[in-house]
Amino acid sequence: MEYNHIITLIKEMERLKNNTRTAWTSTGRQESIAEHSWRLTMFSMVLEEYLHDIDFNKVLRLSLIHDLGEAYEGDVSATIAVDPVMKLKKEEEALQRLIAPLSEKTRQTFLELWWEYNKGETREARLVKALDKMETIIQHNQGANPTDFDYLFNLEYGKTHAQFDLMIQSLREIVDQETLIQANNKKLESH
């Protein structure tokens, strides 16, 4: 019977393929939550050889789990002011609903990882938070965005999360330079 519950969860997780984010791909379609989580996980994975004091098994798990709470109501743009406590509460409720078919032990593991990410107290969680913001900005820089897209917003978006490590700060500086180029190109196009 427990095997059926695992399949039920996997079927329910399709929602993450269908729910879109407020970022566009280079072909002009909105990306899914699942696509963002996949690329964030790959971004995390390629950094393993550079960050020796981090548990990358945990990093990969955090990367995969961090947005599971968006399975039912989707992503909310960072440009929209929301009550962060209510947002977190709704996402936790969604996560609880999503993982309900699983065993108590597995539910507990998922919840602990999700809370670790959201609290951002461990080096692993800080890394994933920093990369989560950077992956979003990279997608914005690559995407075929609407004409009213505000690239300059991204220069401060999640910037403080990158400050825990010099290498991550350096990556963020590259992303910010690309963002400035996009903002300048947009300005030139509008003239």
Q: What is the pLDDT of residues 86-101, one digit of tens each?
A: 999 999 999 999 999 9
Question: Of how many residues is the chain composed?
Answer: 191
Amino acid at 97: R
Interval 107-158: pLDDT, tens:
999 999 999 999 999 999 999 999 999 999 999 999 999 989 999 999 999 9
User: How confident is the model at residue 45, as a pLDDT?
Assistant: 97
Q: Is the pLDDT reported for residue 189 higher than 90? A: no
**Across 3-16, average pLDDT:** 94
- If you average pLDDT over every residue of the chain, what do you get? 95
pLDDT tier at 47 (50, 70, 90 boundaries)?
very high
User: How confident is the model at residue 186, as a pLDDT?
Assistant: 83
User: How confident is the model at residue 191, as a pLDDT?
Assistant: 67
Task: Tell if the pTM clears 0.85, that is, is over it.
Answer: yes
Q: Which residues of 56-91 are buried (b: 16+ CB within 10 A; e: fewer)?
A: bebbbbbbbbbbbbbbeebbeeeeeeeeeeeeeebb
Q: Compute the 3-state secondary structure of the chain and give helix, strand, coil in percent, each to the nearest 5.
A: 70, 5, 30
pLDDT tier at 1 (50, 70, 90 boundaries)?
low
User: How confident is the model at residue 34, as a pLDDT?
Assistant: 97
Q: Is the pLDDT reported for residue 106 higher than 80? A: yes
Q: Which two tokens stand for residue 129?
A: 């938070």
User: How confident is the model at residue 65, as a pLDDT?
Assistant: 97
Question: Which DSSP string do the residues of 110-162 spell out, in sequence order?
Answer: HHHHHHHHHHT-SHHHHHHHHHHHHHHHHHHHHS---TT--GGGGGTTTGGGG
User: How confident is the model at residue 119, as a pLDDT?
Assistant: 97
Are the C-beta atoms of residues 54 and 64 closer than 8 Å to each other?
Answer: no
